[in-house]
Amino acid sequence: MISQFFVLSQRGDNIVFRDYRSDVPKGSAEIFFRKVKFWKEDEEEEAPPVFNLDGVNYFHVKVAGLLFVATTRVNMSPSLVLELLHRIARVIKDYLGVLNEDSFRKNFVLVYELLDEVIDFGYAQTTSTELLKSYVFNEPIVVDAARLPPLGPAAMFMQGTKRMPGTAVTKSVVANEPGGRKREEIFVDIIEKISVTFSSSGYILTSEIDGTIQMKSYLTGNPEIRLALNEDLNIGRGGRSVYDYGSSAGAGSVILDDCNFHESVHLDSFDVDRTLSLVPPDGEFPVMNYRMTQEFKPPFRINALIEEAGAFKAEVILKVRAEFPSTITANTIVVQMPLPKHTTRVSFELESGAVGHTTDFKEANKKLEWGLKKIVGGSEHTLRAKLTFSQESHGNIMKEAGPVSMTFTIPMYNASKLQVRYLQIAKKSKTYNPYRWVRYVTQANSYVARL
């Protein structure tokens, strides 16, 4: 069982602190913070999420710049505690709308109230926002969401897509709209994180998609929902059905390696017609997580070249080509490349007519950084950089630079082709027609090209 739970700001201040068992010294928050901050100063290593110090086990997760910490003296399941910490963060976010230090400080009494019900004497009770609603009475003090960095994968919808109401994902589950009436709406987000490693010759070494179907419901009365996925969806590689489909439906079928589901999901008809039925609880939760290693077309091709140009000079050429339809636009793209450690100066040369590009040489860690506001499908962009070294490089310059890594967000695009065919809400009356948002987004997890 958990002895203490506390939340620390980035500076190490206690924002909330709850002691359940009083068998861990009171100064644990400070001890913890010092340990995490100076884990291994020389090697720049991060503290692992679990460690033991003088017989006390410290668990922590980082959410929205805050440290959620639990301590215990007993040999608990690390998975349980870390899941619980994340779940607490999510419940709090459901209530506050926005999770950050400011909203936390303004609402700490509410947070205490939540904590009282979530953990009793160190034992987890419930983390269901739905159930907690009946025990929690403080009203959240809503903070201005616009200028604050939001939490969670759904946050990426904040930018760009204009059709979405701005406050959608930062709305508290309990706070009422200014008009007094709650807006009936439900969000289903298909969020995919892709990892691709290209070899130096552009061949795909590894690729994986980690996806989540995330749901956030603001529907009153918790109606039942049916969510239909691709009919030709297959789960598990090498199963018989995979080959059946492979021969009849061709390459069109989606084959997931594996997936798991939220508790509330009923899979009764999943095997028949690939529909999930559920009564969505309040708050944000993942309906389904899935993993896919089936081959897919990577959205970007990266071409990187580094060449010596004299004793103290070298030239880098970076090319990025968007291999998705021109109706789709990727945004917030950053391309990074570590340069040889003797690099002292870099001069950049962008293609003519480049708009919204930024280039930077991070002297401290010898990294080249190329930012692009957006890339339209089908286009190609090139960056040339001239490097100057402080000393002559001997040996292979290719071995001292790279690999090139890339981060991006592509709204309304998913590499796996997994789709929500329809989202059906059990109707209460004829006039009942809540807003339904089904959104797709793809993000880079580890997108790397080797030199």
Partner 1 sequence: MAPPAQTQRSASPSQPSGKGEVSDLKLQLRQLAGSRAPGTDDSKRDLFKKVISYMTIGIDVSSLFSEMVMCSATSDIVLKKMCYLYVGNYAKGNPDLALLTINFLQRDCRDEDPMIRGLALRSLCSLRVANLVEYLVGPLGLGLKDKNSYVRTVAAIGVLKLYCISASTCIDADFTSMLKTLMLNDPDAQVVANCLSSLQEIWSLEASTSEEASREREALLSKPVIYYFLNRIKEFSEWAQCLVLDLVSKYVPADSNEIFDIMNLLEDRLQHANGAVVLATIKVFLHMTLSMTDVHQQVYERIKAPLLTLVSSGSPEQSYAVLSHLHLLVMRAPILFSSDYKHFYCQYNEPSYVKKLKLDMLTAVANESNTYEIVTELCEYVANVDVPIARESVRAVGKIALQQYDVNAIVDRLLQFLEMEKDYVTAETLVLVKDLLRKYPQWSHDCIAVVGNISSKNVQEPKAKAALIWMLGEYSQDMLDAPYVLESLIDNWDEEHSAEVRLHLLTAVLKCFLRRPPETQRALGAALAAGLSDSHQDVHDRALFYYRLLQYNVSVADRVVNPPKQAVSVFADTQGSEIKDRIFDEFNSLSVVYQKPSYMFTDKEHRGPFEFSEEIGNLSVGEEIADTVTPAQRVEASDNDLLLSTSEKEENRGPSNNGSAYSAPAYDTALQIQSELTVSSSSLPSYAPQPSLPIDDLLGLGLSAAPSPPPLKLNPKAVLDPGTFQRKWGQLTVSSSQDCSISPQGVAALSTPQVLQKHMQGHSIHCIASGGQAPNFKFFFFAQKAEEPTTFFLVQCLYNTSSAQAQIKIKADDPSTSDAFAILFQSALSKFGIS
Chain residues 255-314 in contact with partner 1, contact rule CB under 8 A: 257-263, 286, 288-291
Q: Which residues contact 75 (CB under 8 A, 6 or more apart)?
A: 57
Least distance in angstroms from the C-beta of 191 to partner 1: 11
Paired residues of 277 in beta bridges: 226, 266
Q: Which of 8, 61, 255, 410 binds partner 1 (CB under 8 A)?
A: 61
Structure tokens at 298: 């990577």
- If one asks whether residue 46 binds partner 1 (CB under 8 A), the answer comes out as yes
Q: How far is CA 278 from CA 10, 223, 263, in A?
A: 38, 9, 9
Q: Which residues contact 179 (CB under 8 A, 6 or more apart)?
A: none
Between 74 and 146, whose beta carbon lies closer to partner 1? 74
Between 77 and 352, whose beta carbon lies closer to partner 1? 77
- If one asks whether residue 13 binds partner 1 (CB under 8 A), the answer comes out as yes
Paired residues of 424 in beta bridges: 226
- If one asks whether residue 48 binds partner 1 (CB under 8 A), the answer comes out as yes
Q: Which of residues 234-253 bind partner 1 (CB under 8 A)?
A: 236
Site string for partner 1, 347-386 (x = CB under 8 A): ------------------xx--------------------
Q: Which of 102, 133, 138, 160 binds partner 1 (CB under 8 A)?
A: 138
Please tell me the distance from the alpha carbon of residue 312 to that of residue 298, in angstroms, as a whole number: 36
- If one asks whether residue 202 binds partner 1 (CB under 8 A), the answer comes out as no
Query: How would you class 38 by CB atoms within 10 Å of its CB: exposed for 0-12, middle for 13-18, buried for 19 or more?
Result: exposed
- If one asks whether residue 49 binds partner 1 (CB under 8 A), the answer comes out as yes
Place of tokens 């003797």: 342
- If one asks whether residue 335 binds partner 1 (CB under 8 A), the answer comes out as no
Between 196 and 329, whose beta carbon lies closer to partner 1? 196
Least distance in angstroms from the C-beta of 408 to partner 1: 13
Structure tokens at 406: 């890339």
- If one asks whether residue 45 binds partner 1 (CB under 8 A), the answer comes out as yes
Between 195 and 222, whose beta carbon lies closer to partner 1? 195
Contacting range for partner 1; rule: CB under 8 A; set: 348-356, 371-379, 399-407, 431-439: 399-407
Q: Which of residues 182-201 bind partner 1 (CB under 8 A)?
A: 195, 197
Please tell me the distance from the alpha carbon of residue 256 to that of residue 404, in angstroms, as a whole number: 28
Place of tokens 């926002």: 129
Between 212 and 329, whose beta carbon lies closer to partner 1? 212
Least distance in angstroms from the C-beta of 40 to partner 1: 8
Between 99 and 329, whose beta carbon lies closer to partner 1? 99
- If one asks whether residue 128 binds partner 1 (CB under 8 A), the answer comes out as yes
> Quick count: other Cβ atoms within 10 Å of Cβ 398?
16
User: Sign of dihedral through CA atoms 321, 325, 326, 332?
Assistant: negative
Element (H, E) at 386: strand 380-389
Question: If we measure between CA atoms, which residue out of 100, 92, 97 comes closest to residue 116?
Answer: 92
Q: DSSP strand E in 396-434: where? A: 404-411, 420-425
AA letter at 47: A
Please tell me the distance from the alpha carbon of residue 351 to that of residue 330, in angstroms, as a whole number: 19
Contacting range for partner 1; rule: CB under 8 A; set: 94-102, 314-322, 395-403, 418-426: 395-403
C-beta separation of 303 from 280 below 8 A: no
Between 36 and 184, whose beta carbon lies closer to partner 1? 36
Q: Which of 395, 429, 430, 431 binds partner 1 (CB under 8 A)?
A: 395
Between 109 and 412, whose beta carbon lies closer to partner 1? 109
Q: Which of residues 65-124 bind partner 1 (CB under 8 A)?
A: 73-80, 82-86, 108-109, 112-113, 116, 120-121, 123-124
Q: DSSP strand E in 323-378: where? A: 329-338, 343-350, 357-362, 367-376
Between 8 and 186, whose beta carbon lies closer to partner 1? 8
C-beta separation of 409 from 156 below 8 A: yes
- If one asks whether residue 41 binds partner 1 (CB under 8 A), the answer comes out as no
Q: Is 173 left (phi over 0), alpha (psi -120 to 50) or beta?
A: alpha
- If one asks whether residue 22 binds partner 1 (CB under 8 A), the answer comes out as yes
C-beta separation of 410 from 330 below 8 A: yes
Least distance in angstroms from the C-beta of 93 to partner 1: 14
Place of tokens 């090697």: 43
- If one asks whether residue 19 binds partner 1 (CB under 8 A), the answer comes out as yes
- If one asks whether residue 176 binds partner 1 (CB under 8 A), the answer comes out as no
- If one asks whether residue 332 binds partner 1 (CB under 8 A), the answer comes out as no
